[in-house]
Amino acid sequence: MSELTLVIGNKNYSSWSLRAWLAVKQAGVDFTEVRIPLQTPTSQQEILRYSPSGKVPFLQHGEVRVWDSLAICEYVAEQFAPAFWPENPAARAIARSISAEMHAGFPNLRENMSMNCRARLPGKGMETGVREEIDRITAIWRECRQNFGSGGDLLFGHFTLADAMFAPVVSRFVTYDVKLEPVAKDYADAIWALPAMQEWVAAAQAEPEVIAHYEV
């Protein structure tokens, strides 16, 4: 098949784009990146040139078209990186479960702690329900590290799609200076230190666009 094309939004703000981008990057495959700034008068029209859902991210691989970040991550694992799901069946089941939970859940965190790689907003966003969701996330991280993480610094030791799904949460915790227990902090630091993650953050910081809604 031909080279991959990944369509994403602003790196500073688009958490769903980060998940798919990080999966493709960590898989080590060549791809063409198409970045479409969000919330402009032409954003929707430009996105619809690629994505039938009208949303980013979107992946094109030859004739294959994939949209939604979790679906893209699954496709990348199937095609290029089967180790993105743990080999052990129990670990793999947990990895899939927490990835789906991240994909579908944590609405208070999303609403009150928007991803903004450039900003530093310590103490902001801790509204009703956010602390409970942070506690759930750190419990997930702690349990995975303790039960499956002996082979490295990430949730299941090596990089998996679960790490891709939680990477934007790490960015949020940096932005809002969320204090973490030692196990969770060590994991967050490991994700933040990934070369691909640092590449994304550097590009986000260089973007000229400002979306006022995410700057509050």
Q: What is the pLDDT of residues 105-121, one digit of tens each?
A: 999 999 999 999 999 99
Topology given in CATH for the domain delimited by 4-81: Glutaredoxin (3.40.30)
Which ranges in the chain are annotated with CATH 3.40.30.10? 4-81
Residue 2's pLDDT is: 59
Is 83-199 a CATH 3.40.50.970 domain? no
Structure tokens at 170: 């790490």
Strand order in the sheet with 4-8: 31-35, 4-8, 58-61, 64-67
Instruction: Say whether pLDDT at 197 is over 60.
Output: yes
Q: How far apart are alpha carbons 195 and 192 in whole angstroms?
A: 8
Q: How far apart are alpha carbons 94 and 154 in whole angstroms?
A: 14
Residue 215's pLDDT is: 87
pLDDT in tens, 36-66: 999 999 999 999 999 999 999 999 999 999 9
Which ranges in the chain are annotated with CATH 1.20.1050.10? 83-199
Closest CA to 171 of 19, 8, 9, 6: 19
* Mean pLDDT of the chain, nearest integer: 97
